[in-house]
Structures are given as structure tokens and as C-alpha cells.
Amino acid sequence: MAVDATLPYDDQNVFAKILRGEIPNRTVYEDDFALVFHDINPQAPTHVLVIPKGAYVCWDDFSAKASDAEIAGFVRAVGKVARDLGLVAPGYRLLANTGTNSHQEVPHLHVHLFAGQPLGPMLVR
Ligand code: 5GP
């Protein structure tokens, strides 16, 4: 079921469990602000998820409440992973679903990073 982006943070969500080490993940990169790991159900040859270490439901929550350091650290982590994976020249796509109409499923902010092939139109028509 899609996330209601206005609800408070639920620390039993699957990405909170991954951050606490209760569920395994295939980590690509980690620093003080972000964890990056492979999506369990990849939609492209490269499909990783970048999540902040802090407890934020979605982009709205993060952009309103996170500190400048958290926001900078998170955005830099997205860029660093893309560079480290060699994705700048071939290109990549970022996606952050927020709330019901986007079909956000996990109520912890995540940015999808897709790459590895031409990624098609932005939205299904
Ligand atoms: P959303 O629809 O919320 O933007 O995307 C959630 C993503 O999380 C989906 O692409 C889904 O495959 C991924 N996902 C859900 N549960 C797990 C999990 O336990 N481990 C990993 N690595 N990815 C997950």
C-alpha cells in the first residue's frame, strides 16, 4: 500500500531495519549521512537506493526538517555513488517517490538511482 507522506515516521519500516542491521542488504556505499544499497527488485541493470541515516518519511519531511549538514551529505552521497559507479558519462536517472500518487511503498526517504541502459520515457503513459 502506498505511503501517506503526512504520517509520522514508523521505525518498523524495512529501511529502518536495514539501517539497524536487522535485515541484510548489499551495500554499495556508506558514510555518516547516507547508506546506498542494491534494490531487492531491480528495474534496470543498475538500480540502487540512497537513503539518509536520519529518520525521515519522504522528501517533504527531509527537506523541511533535516539539517543543512544532513541535506548536503545526502545529496553529495547520491552524486558520489553515481561517479564511483562510472555513471556520469553514460547517464543515470534519479527518482524519489513521495506519497500516495507516486506509489511510494517504503516510508523512509529513498532516492532510486537507475542506470545501465537507455531508461525510456520519464513516466508510463
Ligand atoms: P518506492 O516504491 O517506495 O519508491 O520503492 C521502494 C523500493 O524498495 C522498491 O524498489 C523495492 O524493490 C525496494 N525494497 C523493498 N523492500 C526491500 C528490501 O528489503 N531490501 C531492498 N534492498 N530493497 C527493498
Q: pLDDT tens digit string along 67-86? A: 999 999 999 999 999 999 99
Q: What is the dihedral of CA 85, 86, 91, 97, to 10 degrees?
A: 10
**Which residue among 106, 111, 112, 113 is best mutated to probe the pocket of ligand 1, counting the most ligand atoms within 8 A of its Cβ?**
106
12 CB within 6 A, ligand 1 = no
In eight-state DSSP terms, residue 82 is H
104 CB within 6 A, ligand 1 = yes
CATH topology classification for 14-115: HIT family, subunit A (3.30.428)
Q: Where are the domains of the chain?
A: 14-115
pLDDT in tens, 84-119: 999 999 999 999 999 999 999 999 999 999 999 999
